Amino acid sequence: SYQNNQATLSCPNSYLADINRKRYYEIFKSALDNQTKSDNTLTFIIQEIITNDATTSSPLFEYTPQKSHFTHNLHPQYTFENLIVGNSNNFAYAASQGIVKNPGLTYNPFFIWGGVGVGKTHLMQAIGHEILKANPNFKIKYFPAETFGNELISALKSKTMNQFKDKYRNLDCILVDDIQFIAGKEYIQEEFFSTFNALHMNGKQVILTSDRKPSEIDHLEDRLVSRFMGGLTVDIQLPDFEMRTAI
């Protein structure tokens, strides 16, 4: 939708919303500014049905909402079928197979760390897809840690903390990307600690990714470092030549 120099773009999941916002915001904005001859702002939302009123707004983008009773936010292409396994990630891949067979029991939490672009998000979401295949009724949710923080702040402002807690603590599996985002953010760390404990104590699977191992994340509370290292911590290295060729 577009109204009063404010464009709202809907994305099918939080991963794409995050990518669009971080990488392509200026490209979208430049094209929109040139088209409308004005300075605009853009907001990316997740799979909401937008009603376009011809008298107040102009439809810029059309889409067909997914018909699903639960939004897991998993990218359809991030599956094991599309994952290249090599020397850099074979241990992480082997461990992931154990999680798929016994979610919540084997390697919980599962902490994956490594540099940018080595496939952490792909592997994590592939685990989610496989768990869903075996357990179609499981409530699985993928989200960046930044999303968790932003929603927490919104819940505090709108006084909807009970709904926020119910949303995250009643899941069967959480897949949290870039957990290093919560470092140094005291209240967000406190709420994530409580959410983690609620899930872990009930045998729910927790999978996390970061750009470094827990003990090397600055300003991360010791109790969170301890929790994150309480399961299995694996790293993914840069792919070698053979693996890059396969990719």
- What mean pLDDT value characterizes the chain? 88
- Residue 69, pLDDT > 80, answer no
Among 18-27, 177-186, 207-216, the minimum mean pLDDT is found in 18-27
pLDDT value for 54: 42
pLDDT value for 70: 62
Tell me the residue length of the chain. Answer: 247
- Residue 49, pLDDT > 60, answer no
Count of CA atoms in the C-beta half-sphere (13 A) of 118: 24
Can you tell me the distance from the alpha carbon of 197 to that of 206, in angstroms, rounded to the nearest whole number? 10
Question: What is the 8-class DSSP label of residue 51?
Answer: P
Query: Cα Rg for the chain, rounded, in angstroms?
Result: 19
Count of CA atoms in the C-beta half-sphere (13 A) of 143: 18
Can you tell me the distance from the alpha carbon of 235 to that of 216, in angstroms, rounded to the nearest whole number? 13
| Whole-prediction pTM | 0.71
How far are the Cα atoms of 35, 60, 62, 107, 187 from residue 234, in angstroms, in the given order?
47, 44, 41, 11, 27
pLDDT value for 121: 96
Count of CA atoms in the C-beta half-sphere (13 A) of 29: 14
- Residue 221, pLDDT > 70, answer yes
